[in-house]
Chain A
């Protein structure tokens, strides 16, 4: 074999190995029916959120003055213009829910992004260096964990001022300790393994050992926790919105929509039910995906 030929073979084999890993991951993930269903719902949600201006029948902020509290189309008095009815100021519920999906997914993404990045860095440092660094970090995290999560988020928002961005930061800070603990625990089990020692002998420095050698082997539980926190973040943001501390009206955020509809619970069931259902379905779908990921990524649960 001449040289270019051989390197082609080597590269093809390398790609094969990567593909095989992915195929194996998908095999274990697809064993879990609920997870696949959750993933499907989640993908639909993402598509709807991305294509919101195309999909939504109306502008979410336009008030149709002749159609206050119109019931959904299948109920008596419904109007085919508004499939899920309108709210107290005549805005189309369906359009608002569709645009609300954007906010919810954005919240989940940003919160998990902040919490995951911060949690991983702090957790890896604590687990890798041990000693007083570890003690200080973990005691601070214990203090944060000791507060009821929503209460702490409320306090933080009260300090930072109400608004969606501040709510997201507050929720991220509240969720962070879980990631720190998880990362630290995983790093503790990995750092004494022989391959880490071997990498150190090969000349790897602390940063490389922490983030290139150890971290990739700790990712499985973090991915699972990340998806589960995604739904948690959406829930907490909705709760903050409901309490008036999150997204401010007229933002079509699901929790805020619920808060605005509070007074009409008895007269118009649809204004509270649909945002609630949207939150429920999204959170359920993401939790199912998280369960599936755990099945696929946790070697202890593998059936082979």
Chain B
């Protein structure tokens, strides 16, 4: 395999929680020293319960928030937004898709404008070129060209998420961070979006950091899995390793917590019950 496109070393992020007027302010360690590499064109899934630091990690990777300590390297280039700010090239290298498709699109912006905004701000393409690019991208994510001039509120959740994905890859980023991109969607739409993400990954050679709490989704899309627990990466390995032979206690608990509805497990559960 080629050199890792994303190199994260000992990444930390603390939040100061003010204790109000009289209380003492506290320091919350949201991410406590996480390190990992992601290969080009592969998918790393980050799994963990709510509040374990997954989204904080995503915000640092996408340069929304600066890390408290540690380094992020994308394609060999170090990123330090606290010191230098973010350059245009770095912005273009990483994009994000948010969990909630209802909040991630500007309600006053037509879909065409949503897709063209990154091009308008980062390239010197003409209006006609931008429109062609936006229309082509709509087609790529499986939306008809008529949707170009519509407003977000005219779309369903799945369609909006397609638009959000299209916007994220307009600039052809190297790395796409997906922050629970399917957890707000119903199951059939989830499958469609996951398939779309796979197709796009092949076509644009994208690298995904896929954040999720849904193990079935992770099993479907991930190459590697990292399990986070209270801000620490407690387990990291290929998908098959982690799923077949979980090492850490928390990972085992996580798998055990997945509801199971096959006949075997129901019989076992009934047998385990004391006879009434």
Contacts and interface: CB of A to CB of B under 8 A. Distances in A.
Interface of A: 6-7, 9-11, 13-18, 20-21, 193-195, 197-204, 208, 213, 216-217
B145 A6 contact: yes
Given A17-B150, A204-B121, A216 B64 contact: no
B91 A193 contact: no
B145 A201 contact: no
Nearest to A1: B145
A198 B145 contact: no
A18 B112 CA distance: 13
The list of the 10 closest CB pairs from A to B, nearest first, reads A14-B149, A194-B104, A203-B121, A202-B118, A216-B108, A194-B103, A194-B98, A195-B106, A13-B146, A13-B149
Given A193-B103, A194-B100, A216-B108, A10 B95 contact: no
B211 to A, nearest CB: 14
Q: Mostly helix, strand, loop or mixed at chain A's interface?
A: helix
B172 to A, nearest CB: 13
Given A198-B167, A203-B122, A10 B105 contact: no
A13 B150 contact: yes
Contacts of A9: 145-146
Contacts of A204: 117, 121
A82 B110 CA distance: 56
A18 B154 CA distance: 12
Nearest to B164: A198
Contacts of B146: 9-10, 13
Interface string B70-109: 0000000000000000001001101110101001111110
A216 B107 CA distance: 9
Nearest to A195: B106
Interface string B154-168: 100000000010010
Given A10-B135, A13-B148, 16 more contacts: A10-B112, A16-B149, A17-B110, A21-B151, A194-B103, A194-B104, A197-B64, A201-B62, A201-B94, A202-B118, A202-B122, A202-B171, A203-B121, A203-B122, A204-B121, A217-B107
14 contacts: A10-B148, A11-B149, A13-B146, A20-B154, A195-B106, A195-B107, A198-B105, A198-B164, A199-B117, A201-B91, A202-B167, A213-B106, A216-B108, A217-B108
Contacts of B148: 10, 13-14
